[in-house]
Structure 1
Amino acid sequence: MIAELLRSQPEIALFVSLALGYFIGSFRLGPIQLGGVCGTLIVALVLGQTGARISPDLKNIAFALFIFALGFTGGPQFFANVGRGWRYGLLSVIEIVSVLVLVMLAVSLMHLDAGTAAGLLAGAATESAVIGTASEAITRLGLNDAETTRLQANIVTAYSVSYLFGLITIVLFCSQIAPLLLRINLRAEAERVWRELGGGDALDEGQRLAAPALVGRAFRIGPAAGSTVSAFEQQYGNNLTFEQIERAGLLMAADPQAKLEAGDLALVVGRRAALVAAAPHIGEEVTGGDFNVVMGERVDVVLTRRDLHGLTIAQVREQASRTEGRGVYIAAVNRLDARIPALPGTVLNRGDVLTIVGAKDDVARGVKRLGYELVPTQKTDFVYLGLGVLIGMALGRLSGTIGGVSLALGTGGGCLLSGLLFGWIRSRHPLVGSLPSAAAQILKDFGLATFIAAVGLSAGPDAIKLVREYGLALPIVGILMVIVPGLLSLWVGHALLKLNAPMLLGAIAGQQCSTPAISALVGVTGNSTPVIGYTITYALSNILLPLMGPVVVGLAGKFG
């Protein structure tokens, strides 16, 4: 009865897969969490035994929207990190090359078919998008329908088996095994790096939220009397600002050339560490004073200035004139979907979203200096979105032969490249192509989950056959495809590139596109320094790995 219902109304199977899949994926065992995509695939494989099938057209549309949104959101960071972030980018190259070599070894030794090989790559690298690009590549091999369906089923089965073991391995490798191999106390090392970047007391993330980096305090001028406002601010690297002064009952703006007088009430704002250090030299901290709220403006701005790319926050402040930089503070830095520490030593990239705080006029001046304001909007430019997907589909029709291996971008690869281009254009010309981050996230989440559910339902009947055929071989290969690239990157990053351990381990988590691994690392280190390395390799691997799907299919077809 249930099987007949699911076969006659496959949309029920789709939404049951999504609901149950995300419910199962929400459970956490320590730092290990399957996630909604893997959970959806597992449920879809089970329901696929009933014979429920989703229309291939829906599957293709869902994947095209997902892969375009993936490229669109990652475009600015991808181009920002190509070239200038070469030290971290080298780790993504190590990941790509080593997993391809390992997959081809597995193909030769175990006689794997193209579908199983691509599924191993997708699962071990925890990159679900490979399923789509590889599935489409298989449809271009000119096989009969039954063989095409079997190979596509093998992709998702091999993915589901190797994903779980790859996920556990990368989490344990980054947070536990690698620090032992480096013979370091990871938490102590992260605290040292935090201080090197200009951070104050090494607080953990919860304490840091309770003690914000930007604060405002009122003082009665004492030891600072006789000094000009500008001279005093420069003593502390312009990391604090006198915003207002109350003198003889009159409230006035703090002119940089004004001389502080004993008994003045002054409102001083700035970075907490600078204000704590300066407080004894200003005077007694007081309550009261008829000050206006001056730190109320909080604006997100996209960094677009080419000359500021690759500079630290401290260098950006030093480069700005006194008029441009005074009273403007960077409170947060968001790169891709991750927040990195906004410390003086933090390096900024074009495409970063900076949260700046200060008085209204100061913030407006800061926006002009840095880029353009990211105005909150719920409106999507469907002309831009539709044009981007259409161009992606056109690019997907490009194909060629390299070394006897036939390669084609396909809709997935084409839409990924189109998304990269359109996202980069949007970052340079913000008046066109609105795709709010929430809308882009919906396209990515729902598009990928729908695609995964569709391929899982169609793969259900063949899944058990593949597991019986290879048994433990697939999990073992999946583990090796995490350990080998991880060890290579650890050695190269530590011995040759001399990367700081927290950033290096974050970069290794990023080259595997593993969000659980970076979450575990942040928990172990107590601060967000690993995220700095993670965002660079994640941006690169998240684009490069899906493009490897057709490559693996082509190579496996030739050498398998």
Structure 2
Amino acid sequence: MFDWLKLLLLPGEIPTVTQSIVAIMLAIGTGVFFGRLKMGKITFGVSAVMFTGLILGHFGYRIQPGILDFIRDFGLILFVYGIGLQVGPSFFSSFKNEGLKFNILAVSTVLLGGVITVGLFYFTGLKIEDLVGIMSGSVTNTPGLGAAKNTIEEITNSFPDKKFNDPTIGYAITYPLGVFGIIATIIISKLLLKIDPDEEMKKFRMSKINRELPLVHKKVRVTNPDYFGKTLHQILKGFGRDIVISRLKHSGTVAVKSPMLDTELQDRDVLMLVGLEKDLDDFMALVGRPSSDLFIESDKLMLKKNIYVTNAKIIHKKLSELDLYNTFDLKVTRVFRAGREILPRPSLELFYGDKLRVIGSEEAIQEVETLIGNSEKKLLEPDFLSLFGGLLLGVILGSIPIVIPSLPVPIKLGFAAGPLIVALLISRYGGISFIHSYINTGATHFMKDFGICLFFAAVGIHAGDGFYDNFIQYNGWLWLLYGCAITFIPLILMVIIGRFIMKINFLQLVGIMSGSYTDPAALSFSTNYLDSDIPIQTYAQVYPLVTIFRIFVASLLILFFS
């Protein structure tokens, strides 16, 4: 009576489309469930989907090859694109601060893994394609495996008589080692170094405050006679640093206005300033002293409001082009973008989804709302045209063959690096034509988690298929030993050098570890284990360069040593 249900839910040797979908749903559903269970203070989160997939694959669950490839690649594309949009605004600016240091450490780890692989090639006598598979699995790098397989295919097309082993076998055997190895290293290093995540978070915030100083507002009373009768334009030009004077109140009155650049200062005027704290303190020391006047903060005549940029005609225009003050008698005091607070310089270009904090009369604010858009409902609605346009550009970039002189086959960035680089560029520059960078936070988190669940389910079920038989046939314990060298030697050196020599915050170091091994499972675990999103930031800072280097190293090893 229930044969149809058994056929649907139980594994089959040649799965139908429906059975393939059921296998994916089972892997994701059970993985998410077990990922929420706590073992002490440890939860695996969505990374548990990878391991439930392995178990299901071992017990006979299968996915049709075409569906498997689509689910795996599409999931990876969604995941890396979401990460790129999330951290793009800070990715390029990070190279002015710690990003260069992080990438040097991460890329050095990649190169060290390649050197160890070459050493194993000469020491063990294994074929290079087997070792590249072991290396790709040990560092959980699917794009590297794909690049190796593509290189082998290109060489085989050019030299039909040359035979290669399948690097996927070594990848499948060592992939679980790579995932558990990074997670184990994170746990053990946290225990040995006696890391307190809360303390590390405090240190990170302090370093960020010192590195990326927040904007503040202060009140100053003008008491220096040298500035009486001078215009704000003269004073600000002479000061030479970016600050905003958002309000002005003359002494003895309660009227507050937004001053123009030709406004002349009078004795005991009170000004409301916005800018970096040190700049404001220096300016206050020049013109007068701190004020405790409360009338200047009154919103009776001057209203303060946040306005969102949603009008397509305003996107990529500069504040100086809009000229809001002279046109509407309204002043922009701050701009909020992707969690960052930006001083509204005239040259600042507006992006879709920017939040402007403005001060002015109620009538002026209403007029500017009509101009700029301010449709929060529009921001909540997913813009699929923009999203899939960006994904398409990422796939195109990842598919471009890169021809390197003296190499017989071209190299491609693949579906991991291509969409990530496009997302970083779109997020950095606000978009390309109709493709913009803004996606609300909830949608970004959903896209990342949904994508990585699809990827883990597909990879896990595929790797679990024949895992035991391949393990026995190819002396899996020995291959795991070789994989341990590739996994743990670079990781241990990274922790030692990163923590004790480069003095990197542990929360950031964990992100570099996960990013260096392009391991979303370790990233997902670390954010749950350490209860912090900081690893995501450093993961994304090193992921693009690391992915590119992983692809090149895997391809070059096949080309040079096959």
- Report the TM-score, using the length of structure 1 for normalisation: 0.63
Indicate the residue corresponding to 2:393 in structure 1.
388
Residue 74 of structure 1, aligned match among 84, 101, 108: 84
Residue 60 of structure 1, aligned match among 69, 81, 105: 69
What aligned pairs does 1:95-114 form with structure 2 within 5 A after superposition? Answer: 95-110=109-124, 111=126, 114=129
What aligned pairs does 1:433-472 form with structure 2 within 5 A after superposition? Answer: 433-434=435-436, 437=439, 445-465=449-469, 469-471=475-477
Indicate the residue corresponding to 2:546 in structure 1.
544
CA gap 1:33/1:127 in 2 versus in 1, 3 angstroms: farther
Indicate the residue corresponding to 2:434 in structure 1.
432
- 2:62 is paired with a residue of what secondary structure? coil
What aligned pairs does 1:71-150 form with structure 2 within 5 A after superposition? Answer: 74=84, 80=92, 86-110=100-124, 111=126, 114=129, 117-118=132-133, 120-121=135-136, 123-124=138-139, 130=144, 133=147
Q: Is the 8 A contact 1:49 1:461 kept in 2?
A: yes
Residue 197 of structure 1, aligned match among 207, 211, 216: 211
Residue 15 of structure 1, aligned match among 19, 25, 38: 25
Shift of 1:269: 6.6
Measure, in 2, the Cα distance between the counterparts of 1:352 and 1:32: 39
CA gap 1:393/1:222 in 2 versus in 1, 3 angstroms: closer
Shift of 1:79: 8.9
Shift of 1:453: 2.0
**RMSD (Å), alpha carbons:** 6.2
Measure, in 2, the Cα distance between the counterparts of 1:538 and 1:364: 40
Shift of 1:13: 1.0
Measure, in 1, the Cα distance between the counterparts of 2:349 and 2:145: 31
CA gap 1:282/1:332 in 2 versus in 1, 3 angstroms: same
Measure, in 2, the Cα distance between the counterparts of 1:331 and 1:78: 15
Measure, in 1, the Cα distance between the counterparts of 2:530 and 2:367: 34
Aligned residues: 498
Q: Is the 8 A contact 1:103 1:120 kept in 2?
A: yes
Indicate the residue corresponding to 1:161 in structure 2.
177
CA gap 1:168/1:139 in 2 versus in 1, 3 angstroms: farther
Matched letter for residue 254 of structure 1: S
1:357 maps onto 2:357 in alignment: yes
Q: Is the 8 A contact 1:66 1:447 kept in 2?
A: yes
Residue 483 of structure 1, aligned match among 486, 492, 502: 492
Measure, in 2, the Cα distance between the counterparts of 1:127 and 1:271: 44
CA gap 1:293/1:91 in 2 versus in 1, 3 angstroms: farther
Matched letter for residue 168 of structure 1: A
CA gap 1:541/1:191 in 2 versus in 1, 3 angstroms: closer
Measure, in 1, the Cα distance between the counterparts of 2:190 and 2:334: 30
Shift of 1:149: 10
- 1:381 is paired with a residue of what secondary structure? helix
CA gap 1:179/1:4 in 2 versus in 1, 3 angstroms: closer
- 1:283 is paired with a residue of what secondary structure? coil
CA gap 1:300/1:169 in 2 versus in 1, 3 angstroms: farther
CA gap 1:350/1:170 in 2 versus in 1, 3 angstroms: farther
Measure, in 1, the Cα distance between the counterparts of 2:222 and 2:250: 17
Deviations 1:122-164 (A, max 9, x none): 554x6565565556666667599xx999742542441222212
Measure, in 2, the Cα distance between the counterparts of 1:296 and 1:78: 26
Q: Is the 8 A contact 2:256 2:296 kept in 1?
A: no
CA gap 1:400/1:196 in 2 versus in 1, 3 angstroms: closer
Q: Is the 8 A contact 2:31 2:50 kept in 1?
A: yes
Shift of 1:121: 3.9
Shift of 1:275: 12
Deviations 1:430-486 (A, max 9, x none): 432357536676565444432432232232243235666344624454222312344
Shift of 1:41: 1.7
Shift of 1:16: 0.8
Q: Is the 8 A contact 1:245 1:253 kept in 2?
A: yes
Indicate the residue corresponding to 1:25 in structure 2.
35
Measure, in 2, the Cα distance between the counterparts of 1:46 and 1:510: 24
Q: Is the 8 A contact 1:296 1:359 kept in 2?
A: yes
From the CA coordinates, give the structure whose radius of gyration is larger. Answer: 2
What aligned pairs does 1:309-320 form with structure 2 within 5 A after superposition? Answer: none
Identical positions, percent: 12
What aligned pairs does 1:517-532 form with structure 2 within 5 A after superposition? Answer: none
CA gap 1:14/1:72 in 2 versus in 1, 3 angstroms: closer
Deviations 1:187-233 (A, max 9, x none): 88657645643758xxxxxxxxxxxx6579xx8x9786987795699
Measure, in 2, the Cα distance between the counterparts of 1:444 and 1:131: 22
Q: Is the 8 A contact 1:6 1:12 kept in 2?
A: no
1:253 maps onto 2:263 in alignment: no
Deviations 1:269-319 (A, max 9, x none): 746968997798213547994525744215479xx99xx9xxxxxxx9xxx
Q: Is the 8 A contact 2:143 2:415 kept in 1?
A: no
CA gap 1:350/1:112 in 2 versus in 1, 3 angstroms: farther
CA gap 1:199/1:357 in 2 versus in 1, 3 angstroms: same
Measure, in 2, the Cα distance between the counterparts of 1:260 and 1:175: 62
Q: Is the 8 A contact 2:304 2:358 kept in 1?
A: yes
Residue 40 of structure 1, aligned match among 39, 49, 60: 49
Deviations 1:220-273 (A, max 9, x none): x978698779569999976574436498887442325354677x9x79474696
Shift of 1:551: 3.9
**Structure 1, 109-118 or 46-55: larger mean CA deviation:** 109-118
CA gap 1:430/1:43 in 2 versus in 1, 3 angstroms: same
Matched letter for residue 22 of structure 1: V
Q: Is the 8 A contact 1:380 1:434 kept in 2?
A: no
Matched letter for residue 165 of structure 1: G
- 2:421 is paired with a residue of what secondary structure? helix
Matched letter for residue 69 of structure 2: N
Measure, in 2, the Cα distance between the counterparts of 1:251 and 1:535: 46
- 1:96 is paired with a residue of what secondary structure? helix
CA gap 1:331/1:543 in 2 versus in 1, 3 angstroms: same
Matched letter for residue 437 of structure 1: I
Deviations 1:518-545 (A, max 9, x none): 8599979xxx9x78xx847733433532
> What runs of 5+ residues in structure 1 fail to find an aligned partner?
201-212, 309-315, 317-321, 495-499
Shift of 1:48: 1.0
Matched letter for residue 184 of structure 2: I
Indicate the residue corresponding to 2:305 in structure 1.
296
